Amino acid sequence: MTTKRFTGRRAVITGAARGIGLATAARFAEDGGSVAVIDLDLAAAQEAAKAIADEFKTVAVGVACDVTRKDQVEAAIEEVAAKLGGVDILVNNAGITRDNLVHKMSEDDWDMVMGVHLRGAFLCTSAAQRHMVAQKYGKIVNLSSTSALGNRGQLNYSTAKAGLQGFTRSLALELGRFNINVNAVAPGFIDTEMTQQTARRLGHDPEEYRQMRAKNIAIGRVGVPRDVANLIAFLCSDEAGFVNGQIIYASGGPETRR
């Protein structure tokens, strides 16, 4: 059997039944890793895990978990550790948007977005780091966004994504001594259900919206989930062992204020 980049590594990816999370789980599996697909819906998580296991001939498990619920997160990480034999990699990817201008934004819109992105990343990290600290090895990647730099109509999301940057830097300082790397990726526009929903909400056809957005991207196209998955895989590889506490933008161009 050939040894690949993630042979023997066990990766947990939240919100991985579709989009960037699914592409990331598949990327780890392609390079020999075992993966846990965590998502709200058990059937969707299991279906994604089965497709990955069948395609890449690796171990993949689907686990239902709402990342905002401590009891569910603790149980999910323990289930994954038991089924995969441990946890080496955590990707805090689960995310939602509840966009609105400040005067129309409800408390629920604010709390839900903070809950999934910030509380979710905190709870998953708390549970997973125990395994990583004990074995003195781990990789954590958090999903930030170019929206962290400010985006009209995304006060809650932008604040949460900026929060994840501070979370990443502080965690890197705390966990570095245990040989755990913590970094964040900050994607620009990636074609997923999330951005397609945004297009529909703004009254655009998703394809028309993609073309419109691509015009403002230096590289001349919008991103696809695998663009982000490739970067996450690099940050979780041992080649990136000296990269710690960094926020890497993946947006087809340098970040400027929009």
Q: Are the C-beta atoms of residues 199 and 24 closer than 8 Å to each other? A: no
| Window contacting ligand NAP (CB under 6 A); options: 33-41, 52-60, 123-131, 207-215 | 33-41
Least distance in Å: CB of 131 to ligand NAP?
19
> Per rule CB under 6 A, is residue 252 in the interface with ligand NAP?
no
Binding flag, residue 192, ligand NAP (CB under 6 A) = yes
Q: Does 143 bind ligand NAP (CB under 6 A)?
A: yes
- Verify whether residue 157 is a known catalytic residue: yes
Which of the ranges 1-9, 90-98, 165-173, 208-216 carries the binding residues for ligand NAP, by CB under 6 A? Answer: 90-98
CA dist 26 and 56 (Å) reads 8
Given candidates 37, 53, 67, 123, which one binds ligand NAP under the rule CB under 6 A?
67
- Beta strands 60-64; 138-143: pairing state: unpaired
Residue 66 found at the interface with ligand NAP (CB under 6 A): yes
Three-class secondary structure assignment of 14-79: ECCCCHHHHHHHHHHHHCCCEEEEEECCHHHHHHHHHHHHHHHCCCEEEEECCCCCHHHHHHHHHH
Q: Does 18 bind ligand NAP (CB under 6 A)?
A: yes
Given the complex with ligand NAP, which of 7 and 106 has the nearer CB atom?
Answer: 106
Instruction: Please return the burial class of 220, using the count of CB atoms within 10 Å of its CB with bins 0-12, 13-18 and 19+.
Output: exposed
Which entry of 137, 157, 209, 249 is annotated as an active-site residue? 157
Residue 125 is a binding residue for ligand NAP (CB under 6 A) = no
Place of tokens 């990443």: 168
19/33 with CB nearer ligand NAP: 19
Q: Does 76 interact with ligand NAP (rule: CB under 6 A)?
A: no
Q: Tell me how far apart the alpha carbons of residues 55 and 57 are, in angstroms, rounded to a whole number.
A: 6
229 binds ligand NAP (CB under 6 A): no
Structural tokens at position 220:
């001349």
Choices 12-20, 129-137, 148-156, 165-173 (CB under 6 A): range interacting with ligand NAP: 12-20
Query: Rounded distance, CA 4 to CA 112, Å?
Result: 39
21 near ligand NAP (CB under 6 A): yes
Please report whether residue 195 would count as binding ligand NAP according to CB under 6 A: yes
Site for ligand NAP contains 41 (CB under 6 A): yes
Measure the CA–CA gap between 179 and 167, rounded to whole angstroms. 18
User: What distances in angstroms separate CA 47 from CA 50, 154, 157, 226, 249, one per listed residue?
Assistant: 5, 32, 29, 19, 30
Footprint of ligand NAP (CB under 6 A): 14-15, 17-21, 39-41, 65-68, 93-96, 116, 120, 143, 145, 187, 189-190, 192-195
- Annotated catalytic residues are 157
